[in-house]
Amino acid sequence: MQSLLPTSIQIPKVLTIAGSDSGGGAGLQADLKVITALGGYGMSVITAITAQNTLGVTRIQDVDLDVVEAQIDAVLMDIGADIVKIGMLASPEIVRTVAKALRRHGVKRIILDPVLRATSGASLGGDDTAQAMIAELFPIASLVTPNLEEASLLLGREISGPNDFKLAAQELLDMGPQAVLIKGGHLDSTHTQITDFLMWRSVEDELEVILTKEFKHYRVNTINTHGTGCTLASAIATYLADGHDLLHSVAKAIAYVEAGLEAGRFLSIGEGPGPLWHMHDFYPTALAKEKGI
């Protein structure tokens, strides 16, 4: 008898391991919005609960280590993941717990966004956490995506601008990951053009080579930039899970973030810097509404 069940359909499965943002603009809430908007199936492991809004972070509560591990086990033992995106890990102990669990499950593709400070300036992980990331997660990461401040914290010296990117990326790559993307958006607003710098390992004629690519794009004139780092890393992860190569995934993710910033320029969410508009492909932007388009 012919089965009446529909043919099995596979879509990209992306697991985000990150902190919760009660304001919805960053953290795993932003990650899940991005994954869904780009056609993936999002799953989550909560590492910390933050009380935050557009004005800042008022409280952080780490999730118990056994609960973090149990969440990872529950997802990977049943659903699985084509790729794992890691965001806020608020303590060295959480870093080690996550790394141990991912190794145990044999996860091969990991995008690490080393979140150490919120857009508002609140600390989301100190130097001990940064060093734990370097020791435990860099060696198994497919891509690490620090902004300027995070790269400076990881390297222990200031990264002041695009002229420093190549050396900084090489030093970070030497710590173990397969690729590094240094994001230039945190340069002061007098820089109207943003440079993001990608460096990655490749194999040509059975020899490992190091390749680089600069992505130059304009700065969107907006204060609504909350969650851009989480959004970019999640977009890269989703594009990779959907079968795009690294270079194409990074380029498409940058374009997605840029479009979200442009669409969210006039959104009024909260009293401080709000989020970009993750769903710009599906719903009218505030600018379009303002103009009556």
The span from the CA of 266 to the CA of 270, in Å, is 12
Active site residue 56: no
Which residue of the set 228, 231, 238, 285 is catalytic?
228
CA nearest to 72, candidates 47, 48, 92: 47
Which residue of the set 229, 260, 264, 274 is catalytic?
229
The span from the CA of 72 to the CA of 38, in Å, is 23
Which residue of the set 87, 125, 227, 260 is catalytic?
227
The span from the CA of 28 to the CA of 30, in Å, is 5
Active site residue 100: no
Which residue of the set 25, 230, 231, 274 is catalytic?
230
Active site residue 183: yes
The span from the CA of 95 to the CA of 141, in Å, is 13
Which residue of the set 225, 231, 238, 285 is catalytic?
225
The span from the CA of 80 to the CA of 43, in Å, is 10
Active site residue 230: yes
Active site residue 225: yes
Which residue of the set 50, 97, 183, 260 is catalytic?
183
Q: Which residues pair with 217 in a beta bridge?
A: 194
Active site residues: 183, 225, 227-230
